[in-house]
Structure 1
Amino acid sequence: MANLALTYSDQGRWTEAEELNVQVMKTRKRVLGAEHPSTLISMNNLALTYSDQGRWKEAEELDVQVMETSVRVLGAEHPDTLTNMNNLASMYMNQGRWTEAEELNVQVMETRKRVLGEEHPNTLTSMASLASTYWKQGRWKEAEELDVQVMETRKRVLGEEHPDTLTSMNNLAYTLKGQGEDNAAIVLMESVLQLGRRVFGPQHPHITSSLATLNEWKLENIKMSN
């Protein structure tokens, strides 16, 4: 039922997704208990359904409840707790509540560095999330420092053609563009496109999106030079 609800969410069928998520959550609460990890997952899924509809207050109430329960039951450094904190940070970001999002992202990143190590995929995901928070605020230099660090580490640990590495390269290209470093952004996006075609194939949505962005940037450059 939870998997079917996720399928509905992916299709934007929010009402059907919400009905199933509520049913799963209530049943798990009754059968497993309110603090069972599976129950918390159900609550998180329902919160995501609310977020997708812009129902921030309902989403926040569930996300905070899940995070606080996870901290109490599993501990502040448990991977599930950190994931729940990350979810709450994402929800704050979607609302433009940058300070709250940044505080949580920093906390998650520092904990994952200490517990998992600086090169763990989850740590790098946290660093990328924090960079995104900076990017949204126009804090380009701080975003760039993190984006470069994540990209270089992923290249070394995962390889240049790993999807996560390509995502990092894409993020850095946007950060460079935001600072007015148009030529560097275009060169990097060209690399993303070249590697991405080899990894995903020429018709993949990621590739068509990157190509559209690259063409737009090049056109802007031509107009500016004229």
Structure 2
Amino acid sequence: MNTAHTRGNLATVLSLQGRLAEALPIMKRNFQERTRLLGSEHPDTLRAGLNLADTLLENGELDAAEELMRDTWGAQERVLGSTYPDTLISRHNMARLLHARGELDAAAAAYRDVQPCMEEVLGMSHEITLENLHHFGVLLSERRQRAAAVQLLEQVLNNRRQALGHHHPDTQETEKALLAAKNLPPPGEATGWVPVT
């Protein structure tokens, strides 16, 4: 099993480096081996499924990601509980998937629904809690909800600066998103867009 852990760690590092084409085959093999050796509902298998689904999402394989996410999330709810950190990450990842599909209302509801649990279980400065808020802020910006997006992204930026520092890639990502939100036209300015309420 140590080999599987090492292989899983390698795949995670490759994924974080954006080397998805190299990470995916390793993750798929790791998930299949864990399923065979440990069973489909073992926590290590569920973690491997969570990581694989996230990498499929990052690679744009939305159908495959959604199927695995739903299976993993369902098993996590049964085995680990609804407030276990990995279960919360799966809920966040499902919101990201809906966002990637352009299902903005459903994604907004999913980001909103998981946030209080994340804050309670993980804390306000946890990287996943901040990531959820960041993505929700980006979604608000995409919906041209300028004031709400700016307020939320400023909160995320302040927390990321404190938790990660000014030069961390996640902090810089939020700085860019905040700048984009601030550059949105004010409400009522002629843009051909009708605000969502």
What TM-score, normalized to structure 2?
0.75
Is 1:74 aligned to 2:80, yes or no?
yes
Match of 2:92 in 1: 86
Matches within 5 A, 1:1-226: 1-6=7-12, 7=14, 10-13=18-21, 17-155=23-161, 157-158=162-163, 161-163=166-168, 164-179=170-185
- Aligned-partner Cα distance in 2 for 1:117–1:52: 25
Name the larger-Rg structure. 1
CA offset at residue 139 of structure 1? 2.0
Q: What secondary structure is seen at the aligned counterpart in 2 of 1:179?
A: coil
Give the fraction of aligned pairs with identical amino acids, expressed as a percent. 29
Aligned Cα RMSD in Å?
2.6
CA offset at residue 52 of structure 1? 4.1
Q: Which runs of 4+ in 1 moved over 6 A?
A: none
CA offset at residue 172 of structure 1? 1.1
Listed as ranges, the gaps of 5+ residues in structure 2 are 1-6, 187-197
Q: Which amino acid aligns with 2:180?
A: Y
Please say which of residues 77-86 and 44-53 is displaced more in the overlay: 44-53
Aligned residues: 177
What TM-score, normalized to structure 1?
0.67
- Aligned-partner Cα distance in 2 for 1:105–1:81: 14
Listed as ranges, the gaps of 5+ residues in structure 1 are 181-226
Q: Which amino acid aligns with 2:61?
A: R
Q: Which amino acid aligns with 2:163?
A: L
Greater helix content: 1
Are residues 38 and 169 of structure 1, via their aligned partners in 2, closer, same or farther at CA, if it must alter by over 3 Å? same
Are residues 159 and 115 of structure 1, via their aligned partners in 2, closer, same or farther at CA, if it must alter by over 3 Å? closer
Q: Which amino acid aligns with 1:10?
A: G
